[in-house]
Amino acid sequence: MNWLVARSVVVLAVLGAVVLAAESKRTRTLFDRFDKDGDGKLSESELTAPRLFKRFDADADGVLTAKELSTLGERRALRGRSESALVNQVVEHQMTLDGRERSYFVFTPSTLSERSPVVFVFHGGGGKARGFARRRGLNEFAEKEGFLVVYPQGYGGNWNDGREAPAINAQREKVDDVKFVRSIVAELAKSHPIDRSRIYATGISNGGIFSHYLAANASDLFAAIAPIIGGLAEPVADDFSPSHPISVLIIQGDSDGLVPIDGGAVGGRLLARRGRVISTDETIKKYLEANDIDGEPTVTTIEESQPDDGTTTEVRRYPLGNDDVRVEVYVVKNGGHTIPGTDPPALLGRIVGKTSRDFDAWEVVWDFFKKVPPRKQAD
């Protein structure tokens, strides 16, 4: 990124906030510095950041006005206050399990449902649950609809997701993360009125692969899973036979270089000895067979609200299976190792690929969980 683009990105981030005080001399000076032709409007060429420019040009007239930037600033300020309030509702918990100190974070909404659903969110490889729990993500929906969100911390930053990868401590040491999750549910049940028939799992990358592992090994506990950019590990696929019907939503980019949609080595050329996953198509077949689903899917394309993001998304919805469980797949064409609806840092975007901004992955995940049937074999 050259210095002009970098400067433009920074200015777009702060201009909206500073123009809230339009009479400020500092504000006018900053605005005028970019308004080279002095017409009181900022053009795309004056900011030299076309993708960001198009996102903030609310009326698509080719210029940014002080009013548009002011609205942007108000939106960001409200979002910041909302995030701060939600963070205060996140509490850390700890336990000792199999001689290891484990931790997890729980987001509790202001008003909890009488029998609350529980959504587990598993971070990606090398990630931190604390940082994940501080994002708006599912917390925003949990606050509105009264469910618990749990963010466990992986051992050494990773999950034992069944890849048997020698480079990952949790897998080399055969950490029992299924036992960890079951222990969390037991602890939650002591302090919250949870609905054991509506426990769900989602996660990204390593956390998504682990969600598949839970489907294979804990379908007596989970009603549905929603892995994002995370495939089914080859060793798990070899004997994939969940003990109970389980709904699944898969969100996967077809240009993901780290978790390839066609299967193969995880990590590509960047990371070695990270195990392998099977293809998304083969994964779907596994779930269709396990849930006794026959018939072709209904295929649609999500309307492009952000055509300049370079992606389109195909959605496949299959006929209902045993106990009316659902299988749905979102394939992001040209999508990389990214979470749709989020904004990865520009430099990171060059590594992980393109991000769809036509839908919010977390909203889609929660909508899916809401419509799938509760687990009939609830304890």
Digit-coded pLDDT (tens) for 330-366? 999 999 999 999 876 655 666 889 999 999 999 999 9
pLDDT in the model for residue 16 = 45
Please report, for the domain that includes residue 284, its CATH number. Answer: 3.40.50.1820
- Beta-carbon contacts of 363 under 8 Å, excluding residues fewer than 6 positions away, are 141, 341
298 part of a folded domain: yes
Last residue of a domain, one of 58, 82, 106: 82
Q: Is residue 75 part of a domain?
A: yes
- Is residue 111 located within the same domain as residue 237? yes
Q: Tell me the two tokens of residue 374.
A: 């509760």
What pLDDT, on the 0 to 100 scale, is given for residue 338? Answer: 94
155 with 191, same domain: the answer is yes
Do 23 and 94 belong to one domain? no
The helix (run of H) or strand (run of E) holding residue 46 is: helix 44-47
Question: Quick one: 265 and 340 in the same domain?
Answer: yes
Q: Is the residue at 224 inside a domain?
A: yes
| Domain membership flag for residue 269 | yes
**Is the same domain home to 71 and 156?**
no
Q: Looking at the predicted structure, is the pLDDT value of residue 8 above 50?
A: no
For the segment 206-227, the average pLDDT, to the nearest whole number, is 98
Cβ–Cβ under 8 Å, residues 55 and 64: no
Residue 63 has pLDDT above 70, yes or no: yes
Retrieve residue 7's tokens: 């400067």
- Quick one: 33 and 144 in the same domain? no
Question: 326 Cβ partners below 8 Å, 6+ apart?
Answer: 224, 247, 248, 249, 317, 318, 320, 368, 371, 372
Q: Return the SS3 of 255.
A: coil
Give one DSSP letter per residue of 329-375, joined into a string.
Answer: EEEEETB-SS-TT----HHHHHHH-B---SS-HHHHHHHHHHHSPPP
Residue 43's H or E segment, with its range, is strand 42-43
Q: How confident is the model at residue 11 (pLDDT cuts 50, 70, 90)?
A: very low
Number of domains in the chain: 2
Mean pLDDT of 13-33: 47
State the residue range of the domain holding 357. 89-371
Query: Do 199 and 344 have their domain in common?
Result: yes
Would residue 45 be called left, alpha or beta, if left means φ above 0 and alpha means ψ between -120 and 50 degrees? alpha
In a domain, 142, yes or no: yes
123 and 260 housed in the same domain: yes
Same domain, 111 and 32: no
Question: Is the predicted pLDDT of residue 235 greater than 60, yes or no?
Answer: yes
In a domain, 379, yes or no: no
pLDDT band at 377 (very low <50, low <70, confident <90, very high): low
Does 221 have pLDDT greater than 60?
yes
For the chain, what is the mean pLDDT?
85
Residues 176 and 274 in one domain: yes
Mean pLDDT, residues 152-161: 97
Which pTM does this prediction carry? 0.79
Q: How far is CA 280 from CA 88, 101, 185, 284, in A?
A: 38, 34, 29, 6
**Residue whose entry in the numeric block shows the structure tokens 């769900």:** 200
CATH of the domain at 25: 1.10.238
Residues 121 and 163 in one domain: yes
Residue 97 φ/ψ, nearest 5 degrees: -140, 125
Name the domain boundary from 53, 82, 111: 82
* Dist CA 259 CA 160 (whole Å): 16
DSSP for residue 222: -
Domain end (from 31, 47, 82): 82
Beta bridge partners of 101: 96
Determine the distance from the C-alpha atom of residue 285 to the mean position of all C-alpha atoms in its chain, rounded to a whole number: 23
Residue 297 identity (one-letter amino acid): P
Q: Quick check: is 376 in a domain?
A: no
Quick one: 340 and 324 in the same domain? yes
Q: Is residue 378 part of a domain?
A: no
| Reported confidence tier of residue 116, pLDDT bands at 50, 70, 90 | very high
